[in-house]
Structure 1
Amino acid sequence: MSATGTEWYPLRVTAPPRPLVFGGHAIAKRLGKEGIPDWAVGETWEVSDVDGHQSTVMDGPLAAATLRELVAKDPEGLMGEGWSGEFFPVLTKFIDASGALPVHLHADDATARAKEGQVNGKTEAWHILDAAPGATALCGLKDGVSKEELHQALLEQDFDAVLRRLPVRAGETIYVPGGTLHSFGPDTLIYEIEQTSDIQQHAMRWNMQDGSAVPDEQWHANLEALVGEIRLEPRPDFRSGLPIVAGDGVERMFCCAGPHFALERWHAGTAQPLRHSFATAQVLTNVGAPVQVRVGDWSEELGPAQTLLLPAAVGRVEIDGPADVLFGYLPDLARDVIAPLTAAGYSRELIAALGEGLEPQT
């Protein structure tokens, strides 16, 4: 129970599918997610507090409450001691890029406030769950590309002239700062974690919702807006993460981290359960076979590609192996990321490469 008297427990929340033109059937067929339709699914938003796409609790005493309502009801019980805010700060998704995503960007925080009238932008990270041999992603501009050269390439739809094309491999993660032009697919399946936002600027002549043509006047306006919001300097790379031993046969992999979110992937065998204590809300997503999850007296099975939101107030989770799960959260970087990795012997240079805000203080 939290200080407000809220009886917190692991929350199953709605994760509606989105029928986008680049989607397919990989979320059901490759990950085993049940309860989604047979039509091509581009995304499932596993935990979301985006306006118009808010997750709702599915069962228990808090059933039918939205994340926004839970934040208002007991922000510290949900997010951790000392936290305050108007909405749940982390958005997580499965994305099936059976086809290629549009080339697009999301504004960074300062640009979102200045040009979009939003309180924050959208930095994101992609954790690759599956990818065909030879799969690639576009991410960041080539060195030396000017805004004028970029605009001309976008008019010609010649993206490889200005964008870096990177190889994509399962198990790797890339941290993508707001303002970075990007795309990925085809034949790529990812788990995405990001700031709570849906702002974006597209370079394509088609709409990703239904493939319909974007009128010329609107398309040129879109390109002008995109060039006005882009950051020229970010050139992120895919990384394999930093593992530490968390028990007998239990591995804790730090995939990425920054001020807006962190993502870890844990593997456990059968010698010991996975045991994880935490002080901030955890988005627990199963990317393996069904597992048994225990929080205090609460115990339930979590199926493939299913998600639980673990409020900070519950504090600890135990999962029987074999297990392959993700934990996404809003970190205290010093406590949740730097301290355990430093204790494991990693240099600050290696830790800093996980994302942003991890460099040694000068």
Structure 2
Amino acid sequence: MTKPYPLQFQPEMKERIWGGRALEQFGLTLPEGSIGEGWMIGDHPNGTTKVINGELAGKGLDEIREAYGREWFGTKGFSEKNGRFPLLIKLLDCNDDLSIQVHPTDTYEGLPEGELGKTEMWYILDAKPGATIIYGLKDGVDRAAMEAAIAEGRIMDTLQEVPVQAGDAFYIPAGTVHALCAGVVVAEIQQNSDTTYRLYDYDRLGLDGELRDLHIEDSLNVIAYDGAGASRMTTEGVADGQWLTIASSPYFIVEKGIIRSTAAYETPATSFVILIVAEGSGKLKWADGELALAAGQAYLLPASLGGYELDGSLTVIRSVVPA
């Protein structure tokens, strides 16, 4: 039986019409084209990442899930709906504006079979001066007002646009209308879902040269017009050795930590731990070895790993599934 150890994966790179080449700044190897998404840890039919380190190198996350089960992922480390790994971890390069979109909850009847809803959070890794995002509806916008705005070509009038800078964190529950805009690089922690409903896409052509599909009826059905609990915060005040909770949901708890010397931690029995290095470099040490840590990389620590140490000069985004 393979002893548990921290896993690093080969990212699945996705070309998007709004993507660019910014993920190269993290030393990632990109294929040709406009790369908008790097799926860093994924167990989904549209992208399953494979291990690149240690004894399990070459194995997909799905294979590891099937072989090692709750011993590695914890008692809460599975989706109750489809049995898959419950989270999808991405890096996003927004070289252009994304579509105005919204995601469904797990209970929406229109979901594809076996698919989850999509609650997510963003941590802004980099933002050009003046960068903004679309984040929720203006006060008083209900379904009738949204339908009228779409019909009259003025949907942008219904939306809140907010400025962003590196270090900002946004919690985006399912039902929240949103869009990343040009000039930001983002770490995204989300439910393991690839379902997006587009309300508006600037009449752009897709990679196939055709207008991209909109999903107006589904969008109108799943929007939380009275709000779904979205929240945002700046995270600049985190002190060395502290962990600040930047998103808390039924699907994930995400914290930001600053490491300037060696710090010891323990994996919980109920959940794996995901570490995303936002800045800096260092080492991850455990009883049987150590692994180099670098900005823009993501690491999956099995629940059964036990004690581990972080050492170096690091800004880390840490995620677990709630007990």
Q: Secondary structure at the match of 1:164?
A: strand
CA contact (8 A) 2:283 2:291 kept: yes
1:299 paired to 2:296: no
CA contact (8 A) 2:78 2:86 kept: no
**Aligned 1:1-362 pairs, distance under 5 A:** 5-29=1-25, 32-37=26-31, 39-81=33-75, 85=79, 86-111=83-108, 113-203=109-199, 204=201, 206=203, 210=207, 212-214=209-211, 219=214, 222-234=215-227, 236-240=230-234, 249-269=240-260, 272-279=261-268, 280-332=271-323
Distance 1:143 1:151 in 2: 15
1:37 CA displacement:
3.6
1:213 CA displacement:
3.4
The number of equivalent residue pairs is 316
Q: Secondary structure at the match of 1:313?
A: helix
Q: Secondary structure at the match of 1:287?
A: strand
From the two aligned structures, give the one with the greater strand fraction.
2
Distance 2:160 2:272 in 1: 35
Q: Report the AA paired with residue 181 of structure 1.
A: V
Q: Report the AA paired with residue 329 of structure 1.
A: V
Distance 2:34 2:88 in 1: 22
Distance 2:159 2:110 in 1: 26
Q: Name 1:354's counterpart in structure 2.
A: none
Distance 1:290 1:224 in 2: 46
Q: Single out whichever of 200-209 and 49-58 deviates more from structure 2.
A: 200-209
Unaligned runs of 5+ in 1: 333-362
Q: Secondary structure at the match of 1:161?
A: helix
Q: Name 1:353's counterpart in structure 2.
A: none
From the two aligned structures, give the one with the greater helix fraction.
1
Distance 1:198 1:119, change over 3 A: closer
Q: Secondary structure at the match of 2:118?
A: coil
Q: Single out whichever of 122-131 and 60-69 deviates more from structure 2.
A: 60-69
Q: Secondary structure at the match of 2:93?
A: strand
Q: Secondary structure at the match of 2:220?
A: helix
1:129 CA displacement:
1.3
The TM-score with structure 2 as length reference comes to 0.89
CA contact (8 A) 1:241 1:256 kept: no
CA contact (8 A) 2:106 2:116 kept: yes
1:191 CA displacement:
0.7
CA contact (8 A) 1:286 1:306 kept: yes
Q: Secondary structure at the match of 1:183?
A: strand
1:114 CA displacement:
4.9
Q: Secondary structure at the match of 2:50?
A: coil
Unaligned runs of 5+ in 2: none
The TM-score with structure 1 as length reference comes to 0.80
CA contact (8 A) 1:47 1:283 kept: no
1:243 CA displacement:
7.1
Distance 1:84 1:100 in 2: 33
Q: Report the AA paired with residue 8 of structure 2.
A: R
CA contact (8 A) 1:33 1:303 kept: no
Q: Report the AA paired with residue 211 of structure 2.
A: V
Distance 1:296 1:156 in 2: 62
Q: Name 1:355's counterpart in structure 2.
A: none
